[in-house]
Amino acid sequence: MAELPARPGERLPSDYPAFLDEVKARVASARSQAALAVSAAVLAAYWEIGTGILARESAQGWGAKVIERLAGDLRRAFPDMKGLSPRNLRYMRDFARAWPADSVGELLQQPAARLPWGHHMVLLDKLSDAQARRWYASYAATHGCSRKVLEAQIASDLRARHGAALTTFDRALPAPDSELVRDALKDPYNFEFLNLSADAKERDLEAALLNDVQNFLMEMGRGFALVGRQFPLRVRDEESGEESEFFLDLLFYNYILRRFVVIDLKIEDFKPEFAGKMNFYLTAVDELERQPGDGASIGLVLCPGRSRTVTQWALRGLDAPVAVARYTTAGITMTDQTPAALRPALPELPELASELADIAQAAAIVYDEHDRL
């Protein structure tokens, strides 16, 4: 199909017809290889188109009107295709600028090449640092993040929080399990979606939980399924036969890690005795609940604040895989030591366990990783 005739007074660059033919050929080739915006071949085509625009802008001073003309000619040539608007062509140009020739080959060999084009648009809009774009692209591809989830993870600075909890994993778990498990946790956890003010009461937390349980599970991360709250552990004494009962705040199973995750929720800063208590819980879960094929259970103590030194010393003597992480709530950012004046305003997190379990048992809530746009 022939290109549109030049409009009265319109002057096109001398090499425009040749470049238009190149772009048409590249789009047609990519179109025959895969569905639009989900294939590495199409991503490569977008990069090549963007590189061509970028080079001509630099060498010949192409302006916005030429890009608009190019979009019109492409839509005329491919009337049934989407993604050929002037706006999208500018994204292709920015994509080429963000991934120079010496790095795009690496991208196209990675899982990130399978991300929908909309995800790459988010990366271009939200991130200026090349390393950050690489990290979030890899994370989104590996964990199957939707565009909405990717935007939320960038906004909450997941890269800085990812794998940052203080743990015993390096010595308690064999490699590469230790790295895989550490990467499944964060510090701090972001509970700001609860939107609680400094004078929040327990009833405020409960109301917020009823509306935002899915966000809580999403913040926990991929693969977490809630087993129960106030989960009972009945331990029978071998000598006397007497039975003692203990209760876990939250018990999760992570189907990716293939192991139980015990969460102990605290409304006060970390204390050394929390580590010893978690050590016992993990032993009990492994003895009573762990099934053949499951890995060793891991423990996560969630506190509003902690002293790094005290926490590291408390974890030093433990052989069990235990992690300590902080959490934040709306309007309150926790630091290494939480001011005493703020503690009464913190949510009663054991109540969180109770509400979550009631809802999970009724609706069989499992973290939804397939919310794709």
Give helix 130-143 / helix 101-108 axis angle, nearest 10°.
10
Helix, coil or strand: residue 248? strand
DSSP secondary-structure letter at 162? B
**Do the domain assignments include residue 239?**
yes
Neighbours of 215 (CB within 10 A): 17
Encode pLDDT of 57-86 as tens digits: 776 666 667 788 888 888 888 887 777 888
Tracing tokens 């960038």 back to the chain, one arrives at 154
**Judging by DSSP bridges, how do beta strands 189-191 and 322-329 pair with one another?**
parallel
> Both 332 and 208 in a single domain?
yes
pLDDT, position 330: 59
Which pLDDT score is estimated for 363? 39
Q: State both tokens at 50.
A: 């963007």
Pairwise CA distance, residues 299 & 260, whole Å: 8
**Which band of pLDDT confidence, cut at 50, 70 and 90, is reported for residue 47?**
confident
What is the model's pLDDT at position 39?
Answer: 61
Which residue would you say has higher pLDDT here, 183 or 35? 183
How many angstroms separate the first and last alpha carbons of the chain?
33
Same domain, 221 and 133: no
Q: Which amino acid is residue 269, in one-letter code?
A: D
Domain membership flag for residue 148: yes
Percent of the chain with pLDDT over 70: 74
Helices 86-98 and 117-126 meet at what angle, rounded to 10? 70
Residue 88 in contact with residue 74, Cβ under 8 Å? Answer: no
- Beta-bridge partners for 167: 323
- Model pTM above 0.95: no
pLDDT in tens, 309-350: 999 999 998 889 999 998 877 544 454 553 343 333 333 444
Residue type for position 235: V
> Is there a domain that residue 346 lies in?
yes
177: tokens are 């399990």
**Same domain as 307, residue 174:** yes
CATH, residue 204 = 3.40.1350.10
Q: Residue 287 is which amino acid?
A: E
Residue 328 domain boundaries:
160-363
Question: Is residue 202 located within the same domain as residue 105?
Answer: no
Q: Does any domain span residue 11? A: no
Q: Are residues 200 and 99 both part of a single domain?
A: no
Q: Is 2 a member of any domain?
A: no
Q: What are phi and psi of 167, to 5 degrees?
A: -140, 170
Question: Tokens 């009464």, residue?
Answer: 344
CA dihedral 148, 80, 37, 120 (to 10 degrees): -60
Confidence of residue 2 (pLDDT cuts 50, 70, 90): very low
Distance of CA 122 to the CA centre of its chain: 14
Number of domains in the chain: 2
The tens digit of pLDDT for each residue in 233-252 reads 999 888 888 889 999 888 99
Last residue of a domain, one of 129, 156, 183: 156
Residue 268 sits in the same domain as residue 148: no
List the beta strands (DSSP E) in the chain: 166-167, 189-191, 224-236, 243-254, 259-265, 298-303, 322-329
Q: Domain check: are 152 and 177 in the same one?
A: no
How confident is the model over 155-214, as pLDDT tens digits?
Answer: 888 888 888 888 988 888 887 888 888 888 888 877 776 665 655 543 454 345 435 566
Out of 92, 122, 156, a domain closes at: 156
Pairing of strands 298-303, 259-265: parallel
The 10s digit of each residue's pLDDT in 261-299 is: 999 888 778 999 999 999 999 999 999 999 999 999 999
CA distances from residue 279 to 293, 318, 339 in whole angstroms, order as listed: 21, 7, 28
Where among 119, 137, 156 does a domain terminate? 156
3-state secondary structure 300-337: EEEECCCCHHHHHHHHHCCCCCEEEEEEEECCECCCCC
Q: Same domain for 264 and 341?
A: yes
Return d(Cα 123, Cα 132) in angstroms, integer. Answer: 9
Name residue 243's beta-bridge partners. Answer: 236
Give φ, ψ of 301 to 5 degrees.
Answer: -95, 120
Query: What letter represents residue 371's amino acid?
Result: D
